[in-house]
Structure 1
Amino acid sequence: MKLGRLPVRKIIKRSVLAVAAVQGATLGALAITDHRRKKSRRHVVFPRVPPRSVTTGGSEVTLYTYGEDLYADMLGAIRQARLQIYFETFIWKADPVGFEFKQALLDAAERGVRVYIVYDEFANLVVPRSFFRFPKHPNLRVKPHRLIGFGFRWPRQTGRDHRKLLVVDDDVAFIGGYNIGSLYATNWRDTHARLTGDIVWDMQNAFIDYWNLFPRRRLPQLPDTGGLVWQPNIRLYRNVPKNLVFPIRGMYLDAIDRASHHIYLTHAYLIPDEDMVRALLQAADRGVDVRIIVPEESNHIVADWLSRGFYSQLLRGGVRLFLYQGAMVHAKTACIDGQWSTIGTANIDRLSLQGNYEMNIEVFSDAVAGQLEEIFAMDSSNCRELTLDEWHSRPAMVKFSESVLTPFRPLL
């Protein structure tokens, strides 16, 4: 019996090693291609619209499609702060834009504003450590989101802080896809929102809850106060891995299930789970016009190839795919039936929907949805539509490489 089993075990072992070798070679080739592509990066031009504001309920919503416009208003708000600033970001580059934000925050602390800063430590490993050294100041508190490590409590332990949030006093909040850096100011197409009015309390509360979730010695807990009003038109959803709370995915699924006319999604990374794929296909099957904009080439080449593994199924099911040209589109937005929309930090992938700390606003407003639809039309003008015939005609080696990478989908 032992002699009979041994060859089978060897065959299985060799097969596993062969598959792993092919996967490793494929990932290595993609890494080399990605490195060369980034080295040849150049300035890009893409369509954009100036910031525009609309009122919904007790809040004003301003949408940004260009980083320089957004950063100017964010820095203006920081420089006008009187009481406190809550600043949270995923990536914070040590470049001219990054230093300008750092100096503005330090200046605010010097003039008596209480400044609280959160950034993700793992996302900034390539940023010089010296950039994140802040002078000791009674008005300045900095709390990096640390990589705790892997263990049996994963994902509670390993979720990254992918949120991008700025709240100034009780007056204004900013949320969306933009990280902080010079590249994002001009070369990335992203979407961010500026919020005033009733919803600002919700944004403050989101920062306070996160800050107090990770108590640190020598860093004070922030007071948790109740809100004065209920905001019926805008809701804030927060993924909290430490508590295994992930409502953004449910928000998307519920909205997609309700769609009766059209669904417009713009996402940097499209690696949906089975429920999300099923919801999109069911919507298309009942006659809903489902369109998705994704980058033809994103900043993460492996994510691109994993995403392409879903294209055949989506295209066959009637979902229309539009590939953004010439620039990285990093937005995380959706609008449905001209009434419902969402803007935030969560991509449609496992890391965002079931792994990271994320924030999205859900807006019930035909005015906000109308603006996002105009932005979607603008972005569509810079896309090429991918057809099923074109997709089926891609080279056999490309199809093979996509299938080899399939097991990595759950990791992203």
Structure 2
Amino acid sequence: MPEVLSPRLVRRLRGMRRTALKLAGVTVAAQLSLAAGVVAVDAVRKSRSGEVALAPDDTAIDAQVHGHTFTTYTYGQDLFDAMLEAIEGAQDYVYLASYIWKGDEIGQAFKDAVVRAADRGVLVCLVYDGFANLVVRPAFKRFPASVHVMQFPVIRAAVPLIDIRSTGRDHRKILVVDGRVGFVGGYNIGSTYATSWRDTHLRVTGSGVWELQNSFVDFWNRHRRSGLPELPDSGSPTWDGSVRAARNEPSRLIYPVRALYLEAIDRASERIWITQGYFIPDREVLEALLAAAARGVDVRVIMPERSNHVLADVVARSYWTQLLEGGVRLHLYQDVMVHAKTATVDGRWATIGSANIDRLSLRGNYEINMEIFDEVQAEVMERIFGRDLEDCRELTLEEWLERPWYYRALERGLRPLELML
């Protein structure tokens, strides 16, 4: 029979539990207060900053890959011009998903284009994330009845801690027109992204467009509310293992983007070149990168010196000592925000998409990354990486170890926030 605890011991255990809960509450409150202070200081810094720098207006690069034509964009205005041209030429349908859709000049140009398409009889289906667009004025988010709009809800019906399937924001960026052309990558819709952010997006023609269309259709049919049309699920006309979309879907507990990164890193024998807006690797990704560097692989990561999210910057920096000591080279992009989510391995594999290497993207949000097994597209990505290095400065271990003590304190204090970033 189980031993019965004495009343005195029971009271002591209850007291210890109450003390632990109080300490935990104090710790969380202190972390949140520290985070709020860091955000406030950063807001003051940004308000005092001068003229906004412009991103490099590098020319898009075309590549022929197994019957596909890929165009890789690194300048937002060129991308938006191509997307708007595709929408203006739509005859049957336009499927557009954007995590952020700002109500500015570029945002209005996209709104006008999809409304004109609907007016000429094109089926137009739009998705945007409600939480990410809370600051967008409500009037901008109103469309004519001829345009079918899904706002991914700000607050989900279920409780995330109880139902993990209800977690995640819709962080994807997809455009598909008539099944003949598709776009995917890191660019949101807005004027800032047109000229002041360095991001990466891919234009696809060929059978790979189905990968993007299928992702949109599956999401739409799974989450559509009453009154929105059900979209046809066509099935894949061809199977091409060299080009495929990895789709993180929290409602189905599927997170393949993380798996494709881990597998590619594990296979690497020569080089791993990664560009990320927010680089906060979990334990397995971190260990895989360190193991690759230890076996002689050239592991490099480009990330912004300062991103648009100061808390993500502080938490990311808490990993820099371990990465640098392990032989991973860190290159800090200067002057503008680099927001790309790309990687290339050994000149044979590449990925471009919406997923950051952080917990929110790899284990939380709805994401989509194109995975391409081809030397031609990998060479394009390596060329872009080399171009970006010209706008970076490399951080050395010696420099990093000399950082002020209060940087170290912030990193230790805020690192637990990595679970929310």
Q: TM-score, normalised by structure 2?
A: 0.93
For 1:46 and 1:115, locate their aligned partners in 2 and report how far apart those are by CA, in whole Å: 31
Shift of 1:48: 4.3
- Change in 2 beyond 3 A, CA 1:51/1:18: same
3-state SS, counterpart of residue 164 of structure 2? coil
* Pairing 1:51–2:70 present: no
Shift of 1:158: 2.4
Asked if the contact 1:189–1:328 (Cα under 8 Å) also holds between the matched residues in 2, the reply is: yes
**Which shifted more, 4-13 or 382-391?**
4-13
* Pairing 1:235–2:226 present: no
Once the two structures are superposed, residues 30-65 of structure 1 have per-residue CA deviations (whole angstroms, 9 ceiling, x without a partner) of 111232233336321343420121110021100000
For 2:293 and 2:62, locate their aligned partners in 1 and report how far apart those are by CA, in whole Å: 32
**Which shifted more, 191-200 or 36-45?**
36-45
Once the two structures are superposed, residues 18-39 of structure 1 have per-residue CA deviations (whole angstroms, 9 ceiling, x without a partner) of 5345323321221112322333
* Structure 2 runs not aligned, ≥5 long: 1-7
* Pairing 1:75–2:84 present: yes
**Which shifted more, 394-403 or 30-39?**
30-39
Q: CA RMSD in A?
A: 1.8
Instruction: Name the structure 2 match of 1:396.
Output: 405
**Which shifted more, 1-10 or 79-88?**
1-10
Alignment of 1:35-46 (within 5 A): 35-39=43-47, 40=49, 42-46=51-55
Instruction: Name the structure 2 match of 1:322.
Output: 331
Once the two structures are superposed, residues 148-206 of structure 1 have per-residue CA deviations (whole angstroms, 9 ceiling, x without a partner) of 15344443112100000000002100000000000000100000000001111221111
Asked if the contact 1:47–1:379 (Cα under 8 Å) also holds between the matched residues in 2, the reply is: no
1:142 aligned residue (123, 127, 149): 149
For 1:386 and 1:406, locate their aligned partners in 2 and report how far apart those are by CA, in whole Å: 20
Counterpart amino acid of residue 117 in structure 2: A
Shift of 1:399: 0.4
Shift of 1:6: 10
Instruction: Name the structure 2 match of 1:225.
Output: 234
Instruction: Name the structure 2 match of 1:366.
Output: 375
3-state SS, counterpart of residue 323 of structure 1? strand
Counterpart amino acid of residue 164 in structure 2: P
Alignment of 1:269-348 (within 5 A): 269-348=278-357
For 1:309 and 1:52, locate their aligned partners in 2 and report how far apart those are by CA, in whole Å: 35
3-state SS, counterpart of residue 143 of structure 1? strand
**Identity across aligned pairs (percent)?**
48
For 1:151 and 1:369, locate their aligned partners in 2 and report how far apart those are by CA, in whole Å: 38
Asked if the contact 2:150–2:224 (Cα under 8 Å) also holds between the matched residues in 1, the reply is: no
Instruction: Name the structure 2 match of 1:24.
Output: 32
For 2:399 and 2:30, locate their aligned partners in 1 and report how far apart those are by CA, in whole Å: 26
Once the two structures are superposed, residues 119-139 of structure 1 have per-residue CA deviations (whole angstroms, 9 ceiling, x without a partner) of 0011101111111111122xx
Shift of 1:237: 0.6
Shift of 1:8: 6.9
Counterpart amino acid of residue 188 in structure 2: N
Counterpart amino acid of residue 249 in structure 1: R
Shift of 1:272: 0.8
Asked if the contact 2:248–2:257 (Cα under 8 Å) also holds between the matched residues in 1, the reply is: yes
Asked if the contact 1:47–1:378 (Cα under 8 Å) also holds between the matched residues in 2, the reply is: no
- Change in 2 beyond 3 A, CA 1:198/1:20: closer
For 1:367 and 1:107, locate their aligned partners in 2 and report how far apart those are by CA, in whole Å: 37
Shift of 1:387: 0.9
Shift of 1:12: 5.2
For 2:204 and 2:14, locate their aligned partners in 1 and report how far apart those are by CA, in whole Å: 66
Instruction: Name the structure 2 match of 1:84.
Output: 93
For 2:36 and 2:335, locate their aligned partners in 1 and report how far apart those are by CA, in whole Å: 24
1:61 aligned residue (51, 55, 70): 70
For 2:130 and 2:95, locate their aligned partners in 1 and report how far apart those are by CA, in whole Å: 17
3-state SS, counterpart of residue 160 of structure 1? coil
For 2:353 and 2:72, locate their aligned partners in 1 and report how far apart those are by CA, in whole Å: 12
Instruction: Name the structure 1 match of 2:125.
Output: 116
Alignment of 1:198-217 (within 5 A): 198-217=207-226
* Pairing 1:195–2:201 present: no
For 1:151 and 1:337, locate their aligned partners in 2 and report how far apart those are by CA, in whole Å: 39
3-state SS, counterpart of residue 351 of structure 1? helix
For 1:345 and 1:196, locate their aligned partners in 2 and report how far apart those are by CA, in whole Å: 19
Alignment of 1:163-202 (within 5 A): 163-202=172-211
Shift of 1:407: 1.4
**Which shifted more, 37-46 or 257-266?**
37-46
**Which shifted more, 208-217 or 4-13?**
4-13
Instruction: Name the structure 1 match of 2:419.
Output: 410
Counterpart amino acid of residue 65 in structure 2: T
Asked if the contact 1:208–1:224 (Cα under 8 Å) also holds between the matched residues in 2, the reply is: yes
For 2:44 and 2:178, locate their aligned partners in 1 and report how far apart those are by CA, in whole Å: 44
Asked if the contact 1:47–1:382 (Cα under 8 Å) also holds between the matched residues in 2, the reply is: no
**Which shifted more, 10-19 or 301-310?**
10-19
Counterpart amino acid of residue 49 in structure 1: D
Counterpart amino acid of residue 350 in structure 1: R
Asked if the contact 1:84–1:115 (Cα under 8 Å) also holds between the matched residues in 2, the reply is: yes
Once the two structures are superposed, residues 222-261 of structure 1 have per-residue CA deviations (whole angstroms, 9 ceiling, x without a partner) of 1111222222321111000001000110000000000000
Number of equivalences: 410
Shift of 1:10: 8.4
Instruction: Name the structure 1 match of 2:5.
Output: none
3-state SS, counterpart of residue 116 of structure 1? strand
* Structure 1 runs not aligned, ≥5 long: none
For 1:302 and 1:262, locate their aligned partners in 2 and report how far apart those are by CA, in whole Å: 30
